[in-house]
Amino acid sequence: MNILISEDDSISRKILKTALLKKGHEVVETTNGKDALEALLSADAPRLAVLDWMMPGMDGIEVIRKIREDRSRPYVYTILLTAKCQQDEIAEGLDAGADDYLTKPFNPKELHARVRVGVRMIDLQNELNHNLEELRKALDQVKRLQTILPICSYCKKIRNDDNYWQQVEEYMSAYTEAKFSHSICPDCYERVVLPELEAMDERQKDRGEKNETHRHVSDMDPD
C-alpha cells in the first residue's frame, strides 16, 4: 500500500517511515499540510494517509477537510496523529472527516493494526466501486435492449449505434452475456430443410438411374 505520512517532527517522521517500510508499504513523506494536500490531490495520490494534527501552515484537520470536499476523487483513508487525548478533541478530529486516530507517542504495533484496518477499508471500497461499475454496465445493457431496435425486414440484421448492420447473434453477443446454440425450428425444417433433403434424394435417384442405364448400354456393346 502506498501511504503518505505528513509530520513536521523529523524523529517521529523517521519512526513512522521505518515502521511502515518494514511491513512492505511504500511511503511518501511530507513535512507540512500544504505539501500533504498537494500530494493527496495528485493524479497518483496515496489512498492512505497518516497526518499529524499540528503542522505549520495547514494542520492535519484542515488537510482532511480539503480532501473531503471533492467527492469525485478516490477515497483517502486518513489516520490523524495527535498528542491530544481528550475525548472532545478526538471527536473534533473524527467529525472533520478523519477515519481513525493515533496518539503520540505511538506504539508501532498499534500503528500497524490501524493501518491494516485502513487497507481493508480501501479494498472494500475498491470492490464496491467495481461492483457498482458492473451494475451500471448491466443496467445500460437492459436499457439498450428495452429500446426499439432497427431490424432489417428481410435479412433480420440489427443496426447498432454506429449505424453498422450486425447479425442478431453478433449484436446480442456484443451487448449482453447471452450465448447461442444453433438449431432448426419445425417451421424452417418443413419449409427449408425437408425440400432440400427431397431434392437431394431426387438428384441421387437420377444419378442412380443414369448409372444403371449406362451399365445396360455397356453390357450390350460388343467388343
**Cell (9 digits) for 76:** 483517502
Q: What is the pLDDT of residue 133?
A: 86
The percentage of residues in the chain with a pLDDT greater than 70, rounded to a whole number, is 90
Measured CA to CA, the distance from residue 51 to residue 69 in angstroms comes to 17
The CATH code of domain 2-133 reads: 3.40.50.2300
- Residue 207 pLDDT greater than 80, yes or no: no
Q: List CB contacts of 115: < 8 A, sequence separation 6 or more.
A: 1, 3, 20, 23, 25, 48, 50, 79
Domain ranges of the chain: 2-133, 149-181, 183-223
- pLDDT tens readout for residues 118-141: 999 999 988 988 888 888 877 777
Backbone angles phi, psi at 59, to 5 degrees: -80, 175
**pLDDT(216) > 60:** no
pLDDT band at 34 (very low <50, low <70, confident <90, very high): very high
Determine the Cα–Cα distance for residues 68 and 171; give it in Å rounded to an integer.
Answer: 43
Q: pLDDT digit string (tens) for 77-95?
A: 999 998 876 788 788 888 9
Q: Report whether 43 contacts 19 (CB < 8 A).
A: no
Find the range with the poorest average confidence among 106-115, 141-150, 182-191.
141-150
More confident residue, 208 or 9: 9
